[in-house]
Structure 1
């Protein structure tokens, strides 16, 4: 694709975002490297499929042309007649810029070792043998001194491979003596803890988006597929087609920003202050309960399928347990407080009498949504016959996100409509998915895990981090005391990161994390495997250059948000550029240096492993007419089909709850969570602050640095909302100049808050944790009192510790949440001054 065509495409894709012309001059923009000129070739001698495997959830197929080992042109999928249900999986502007990314000036072209201070980004080239021997020698020494848990492999999702993945490096580390791994992720940590607690289901267990064709109301909280799910296969396309078949559907969207999903599609946009969705949910619940609507319309449903709505519900449960000495819920009996029920909590009756009523008038002062409009949402929800409610994952990346998500899940429960056509349970939409099978096991005998979010803390105090306070998990039983507590037992001394940029860029509080990594006495080895010199790569001691997707043979499934289209791409790469190696070959080199090659390879070549993975994938997708060998499949490229039937959230449970119970302890939806009552009784909280507490009921809690936080409100008057831009997936693709030109990074600010500044004015954005410099974009598409910034820009330290790269995580706070030990990175208060 040529630059002029790319810019036409990206302008069309970004037309509603209005972020191209921010009024800033070219002199204001950050410097970007020039991309080497690649010869155009109208008659390519090689045409094959690869895939764009960033963490957007779609893994779009990419068709590329090459000549003499050089990529000459990128195209997307254009097979079939392109009718919805049998349609093309078209890549977005990111996938179409893969040639620029592959030949980027900041490609890591050879193994390197650090020669300056850690973080300075100074390296010298070394051989692969020296890189592997250095790693093996240092890891062996650290393992001998501190044990295998001192070797940590960090979470990263910069490449969603099927075979040539970070598992290759993990396999080498596992076979050679083991390592410490992590659980959960930066995207869904809190929602992953909240969903099973109340619904007893997975985070992605909502109805297919096509079900909105049967709905009469769509209510979305932070729901934005038209910016974050842009693939031709993804949720955006499913929703677009469903809206065409149901043009009169009323669409209500709650978000601090007037997003691209809202433009031309939302009947109404309710601008809300970040982190206050739980307050809105309680006000809506108050309208539904205090009006008598729930009693008349959904009480029978709630009594049948849930526990904890009212005192009677909990009394009945407790009596049932007491009547059976072998009841499966006996251990929870003494934890059930019948006074602690949702109805009394919302109406402020019983034990809650005298507390401030969380009604629409109160919520208006917290959320910024007018009282009349809050009542309007509640009335529309009560009047709907088939409400589809969807809670975006952005709501969970705030302080108190666990409680926010649980509070929002109450709305579909209160309607009593879950399981019916046109409805959903609030969870993220289900993905059809076909996927791949086979691949490399990790061979790791170390069961212990820590939260993905607490790794930097574990560098400093891992030895004392424990199960009940810090979320250390999967310790052996002989390591636990009578209370079920035990410690990790060692600080992290070595960190491995592959295909990820979360050592620095995507982790909270960059300034704090940077100082931890800069101290070589704390973490003695940092190994990064990547294709580009990311901010995280600059902190490596050893750099290992991976091949890009266009240089890699692999199998790519359709990932986790490709909607109702299922597909697998069989990738055929050009010869690796420079001195890069595939992850399998990197893992093999490490295994040889550790002396465990036989365990790693099992006597098979990379090609044989790929063939085995293909055969397993072929067996998994037996309804497809697939060829005999992987090589033949590579020549075809893509296999696909559309979901043969719909999916309605929790329908099997609603139809037959006895034979299809959900996975909560009780087998019902738990408004009063027995599991969280147990956690509240056993876990040790970080502080006595409300946001560090666990409650059996979903309760709105004032977050630190939130709208109501009196400690920061005066000094930092604006709330900052982070969002996903069309020009990156997290931090991936930030180094593509075409995308930086097409989708400018700028701070969205409402005209009421601009203080006379003009579009494009360079400002310093300061939080209690750091400072960044960015241009502003003045727009009414963000509510007053709130500013918004696309996350994922690459950190770049400037004078006075100002991040001139504009990375939002320079401003964020490190504070693991009470249950998931996850990241609350979108709760930020800031002040703004001209640069």
Structure 2
């Protein structure tokens, strides 16, 4: 974009945001052009609380109640321990987002059909009374399990967050719980059943500086962790400090985490990562290297590599006196061990050898390159293996994640500084006290991904069929359908959920959900399906206390947010909204405890300050919250040099797996395979549960012959720099800076007669979207890559499979609702499509 155009657009947007507004007609010579504010410029600190993992601070400038500009942190000189936390383009565009034309300004109620977006303004009192009354009646008729607060991560507030709704519900008997999340569901299960961890316990990124070989699979910190602190920054610093580090990146796309930082990029076909891992394992085992170099490590710290280790563990479980472990022992099969599987011997003798030539045909990676990676892992003194979350969002992603985790075990180098186990890097941030929510009396929980199914089928969902947790037995039903959904800072209500067209039909049906409430700042695609809309305050209008987020890297920080402007229009914080609803549920006094927002924030600040030491905090925490707001930003290097599994390998601390060891063979998964429903039909090809990780041919995968003819292209979703999930999509600056277009390899473009800038329809049996083409060698042949998170916007044209074409280009118009076998998570990166020029 030319600088002149940028400045002209800035002026135009500033005019649109001014109090007096703009009139562009040149016919009226008497019109006085708008004047800039003349008052003293005020500076306050706020934060970009979007779900990218950083919570970057931003410095907000305003005059006369109007935000004039937003800058980032540059208040300290960069050093090794303390450095600037610079926000990316998203945080710097917060002025535009705050003044967006689709800001919600007043409470509203629906007057048309759900999804039509027809609303009329109402008062806060009417909105709160409607919600509170309905919640009370639904709880009385159906019980608290009929209330569901959908997964919302669009705003990581500290105090006035969606936790306020949890507090409200828990004061009234609770609500239906949900486990897992759209980002990490399958990898969390994979890590749990392998290492007894939660999938973010890998070695800290800073320890990469001590490694001599990095194998990154779908690892892309430079794009999804962009802040001037955070994992992306730690990654760059570690590369600079390392000495002779070889970096091999496996990804369908050539990402910004490469761009010359890598030694080699090997494009892989989506969903074939387990085959990639098994070919490497085959060379390490069949060559005799494992027997000579790491077998003693494996025998000491892991179970499941061979039949003998499973037999020994089976006996321990059988004689343990633990009823659960004794049940596991009954289903354990020593013949189903990892060595025999990889070498295609024993009960696996009829399977093809997992050679590099076998894997080349599946993954697209040359056999010689696969063999070189195996050699590099064998020769490395401290191999750092890290697997990004994109792998787990595939059909049967649990299998792929576990298969890749095995490589770190085979090396025998775990517990060594500079080595890691494949999990995402561990991060430790500064503590921040939040509003207490109390405990939820409802013990049952469903997978975060199955909420749309629970609207009509919740009554019959069980642990055996849907992985429901907290019931009395495998076949005890949940017992009720979802009747009320509270959606706060949440795009999973529609845009980020799979199979948008089907989800819309479920929400439109008023015989299912009786009340949908959306609390947000903007008219999102999901908000159009609400019955009641509550306008939230934006971050720049909020006082709050927030810390760094889950991927903020070595530097921890706290931002004492101070509102740059008063809440606009009739917007209220989630705390205020929840308190008003509490009034109509008879628990206002218990909810507020007689405190104002200001009093709550002072109390939470004192708890935060008291739980921390001023040692190393720059600057030191002052006495009061108001004083902290004037300073704004506090940082401290957490000096976290976590090494994955060090306390187990070097300290003798047992893991949280049933065996206390690394589980190559999971007895719990063997039990689930024997007791959970597994629909082994054509429709769900590859959705299987096995005790050891196994590559499987899945529905809509590269080798799925059932769909490859009609839909020959693999469509890979990815996270763009211009959005975090769907957040910030409504900021024009970012749409210009980061183009919404599908990446197409030049060979595929030639084969399909495509040119740069062409508009195409991409479609399958689930929907159709219209997107622009960008031709680039930065994507694997046979794979089209589309950034996820664009807002669903159905047009007026019927597509090739009978669906209205989504002009917004939301990838979830094409994704499939098919809960994964173990985690019951989202496989939204597994897609096949066909294309047609528009």
Deviation at 1:326, TM superposition (A): 7.0
Q: 2:703 pairs with 676, 689, 708, which one?
A: 708
Q: Does 1:730 align with 2:721?
A: no
Q: Distance in 1 between matches of 2:823 and 2:116?
A: 34
Q: Show the 5 A alignment for 1:194-213.
A: 194-213=190-209
- Kept in 1, the 8 Å contact 2:766–2:815? The answer is yes
Q: Does 1:472 align with 2:468?
A: yes
Residues 362, 85 of structure 1: CA spacing in aligned structure 2 closer, same or farther, 3 A cutoff? same
Alignment partner, residue 14 of structure 1: none
* TM-score under structure 2 length normalisation: 0.93
Residues 317, 443 of structure 1: CA spacing in aligned structure 2 closer, same or farther, 3 A cutoff? closer
Residues 378, 6 of structure 1: CA spacing in aligned structure 2 closer, same or farther, 3 A cutoff? farther
Q: Distance in 2 between matches of 1:97 and 1:148?
A: 40
Q: Does 1:769 align with 2:740?
A: no
- Kept in 2, the 8 Å contact 1:435–1:557? The answer is yes
Alignment partner, residue 793 of structure 1: 790
Alignment partner, residue 820 of structure 1: 823
Q: Does 1:656 align with 2:647?
A: no
* Structure 1 range deviating more: 55-64 or 752-761: 752-761
Residues 366, 6 of structure 1: CA spacing in aligned structure 2 closer, same or farther, 3 A cutoff? farther
Residues 764, 44 of structure 1: CA spacing in aligned structure 2 closer, same or farther, 3 A cutoff? farther
Q: Distance in 1 between matches of 2:489 and 2:320?
A: 53
Alignment partner, residue 831 of structure 1: 834
Deviation at 1:139, TM superposition (A): 2.3
Q: 2:278 pairs with 282, 285, 288, which one?
A: 282
* TM-score under structure 1 length normalisation: 0.93
Alignment partner, residue 379 of structure 1: 375
- Kept in 2, the 8 Å contact 1:329–1:666? The answer is no
Alignment partner, residue 82 of structure 2: 86
Residues 572, 381 of structure 1: CA spacing in aligned structure 2 closer, same or farther, 3 A cutoff? same
Deviation at 1:97, TM superposition (A): 0.3
Q: 1:159 pairs with 148, 151, 155, which one?
A: 155
Deviation at 1:177, TM superposition (A): 4.1
Q: Does 1:784 align with 2:765?
A: no
Alignment partner, residue 639 of structure 2: 644
- Kept in 1, the 8 Å contact 2:54–2:227? The answer is yes
Q: Distance in 2 between matches of 1:140 and 1:620?
A: 38
Q: Does 1:599 align with 2:590?
A: yes
Q: Distance in 2 between matches of 1:103 and 1:603?
A: 33
Alignment partner, residue 343 of structure 1: 339
Deviation at 1:317, TM superposition (A): 2.5
- Kept in 2, the 8 Å contact 1:50–1:550? The answer is yes
Q: 1:301 pairs with 282, 297, 302, which one?
A: 297
- Kept in 1, the 8 Å contact 2:45–2:60? The answer is yes
Secondary structure (helix, strand or coil) at the match of 1:455 reads helix
Q: Distance in 2 between matches of 1:825 and 1:327?
A: 37
Deviation at 1:442, TM superposition (A): 4.8
Alignment partner, residue 721 of structure 1: 716
Alignment partner, residue 24 of structure 2: none
Deviation at 1:135, TM superposition (A): 1.2
Secondary structure (helix, strand or coil) at the match of 1:394 reads coil
Q: Distance in 1 between matches of 2:5 and 2:262?
A: 29
Deviation at 1:792, TM superposition (A): 0.3
Alpha-carbon displacement from aligned partner over 1:702-732 (angstroms, at most 9, x marks no partner): 1110001111000101100000111000000
Secondary structure (helix, strand or coil) at the match of 1:409 reads helix
Q: Does 1:696 align with 2:691?
A: yes
Alignment partner, residue 518 of structure 1: 508
Residues 407, 326 of structure 1: CA spacing in aligned structure 2 closer, same or farther, 3 A cutoff? closer
Q: Show the 5 A alignment for 1:429-578.
A: 429-442=425-438, 444-475=440-471, 480-481=472-473, 484-573=474-563, 574-578=565-569
Q: Distance in 1 between matches of 2:322 and 2:753?
A: 70
Q: Distance in 1 between matches of 2:521 and 2:555?
A: 30
Deviation at 1:778, TM superposition (A): 0.5
Q: Distance in 1 between matches of 2:571 and 2:717?
A: 34
Alignment partner, residue 667 of structure 1: 660
Q: 1:138 pairs with 134, 141, 149, which one?
A: 134
Alignment partner, residue 631 of structure 1: 626
Deviation at 1:314, TM superposition (A): 1.7
Alpha-carbon displacement from aligned partner over 1:21-56 (angstroms, at most 9, x marks no partner): xxxxxxxxxxx9995358756974321111000000
Q: Distance in 2 between matches of 1:353 and 1:583?
A: 60
Q: Distance in 1 between matches of 2:459 and 2:254?
A: 46
Alignment partner, residue 62 of structure 2: 66
Q: Does 1:612 align with 2:603?
A: yes
Alignment partner, residue 330 of structure 2: 334
Q: 1:758 pairs with 755, 759, 765, which one?
A: 755
Q: Distance in 2 between matches of 1:330 and 1:704?
A: 35
Residues 787, 546 of structure 1: CA spacing in aligned structure 2 closer, same or farther, 3 A cutoff? same
Q: Distance in 2 between matches of 1:391 and 1:62?
A: 31
Q: 1:263 pairs with 225, 250, 259, which one?
A: 259
Residues 382, 40 of structure 1: CA spacing in aligned structure 2 closer, same or farther, 3 A cutoff? farther
Secondary structure (helix, strand or coil) at the match of 2:634 reads strand
Alignment partner, residue 31 of structure 2: none
Secondary structure (helix, strand or coil) at the match of 1:94 reads helix
* Structure 1 range deviating more: 239-248 or 665-674: 239-248
Residues 724, 149 of structure 1: CA spacing in aligned structure 2 closer, same or farther, 3 A cutoff? same
Q: 1:36 pairs with 6, 12, 17, which one?
A: 17
Secondary structure (helix, strand or coil) at the match of 2:89 reads coil
Alpha-carbon displacement from aligned partner over 1:540-581 (angstroms, at most 9, x marks no partner): 110000000111111111010001111111111131111000
* Structure 1 range deviating more: 92-101 or 113-122: 113-122
* Structure 1 range deviating more: 182-191 or 208-217: 208-217
Alignment partner, residue 408 of structure 1: 404
Alpha-carbon displacement from aligned partner over 1:230-267 (angstroms, at most 9, x marks no partner): 01111111111111112531100000001111111111
Q: Does 1:809 align with 2:812?
A: yes
- Kept in 1, the 8 Å contact 2:687–2:698? The answer is no
Alpha-carbon displacement from aligned partner over 1:579-614 (angstroms, at most 9, x marks no partner): 000111000111012221012112222222111211
Deviation at 1:72, TM superposition (A): 1.3
Alignment partner, residue 27 of structure 1: none
Alpha-carbon displacement from aligned partner over 1:1-25 (angstroms, at most 9, x marks no partner): x9959969x9xxxxxxxxxxxxxxx
Q: Distance in 1 between matches of 2:470 and 2:5?
A: 49
Alignment partner, residue 581 of structure 2: 590
Alignment partner, residue 571 of structure 2: 580
Alignment partner, residue 390 of structure 1: 386
Unmatched runs of 5 consecutive residues or more in structure 1: 11-31
Secondary structure (helix, strand or coil) at the match of 1:240 reads helix
Residues 145, 315 of structure 1: CA spacing in aligned structure 2 closer, same or farther, 3 A cutoff? closer
Deviation at 1:175, TM superposition (A): 2.2
Secondary structure (helix, strand or coil) at the match of 1:692 reads coil
Q: Distance in 2 between matches of 1:270 and 1:326?
A: 47
Q: Distance in 2 between matches of 1:328 and 1:501?
A: 39
- Kept in 1, the 8 Å contact 2:204–2:640? The answer is no
Q: 2:211 pairs with 208, 215, 219, which one?
A: 215
Deviation at 1:329, TM superposition (A): 4.2
- Kept in 1, the 8 Å contact 2:106–2:570? The answer is yes
Q: Does 1:353 align with 2:349?
A: yes
- Kept in 2, the 8 Å contact 1:438–1:612? The answer is no
Deviation at 1:645, TM superposition (A): 4.7
- Kept in 2, the 8 Å contact 1:435–1:559? The answer is no
- Kept in 2, the 8 Å contact 1:132–1:590? The answer is yes
Deviation at 1:301, TM superposition (A): 0.6
Secondary structure (helix, strand or coil) at the match of 1:600 reads helix
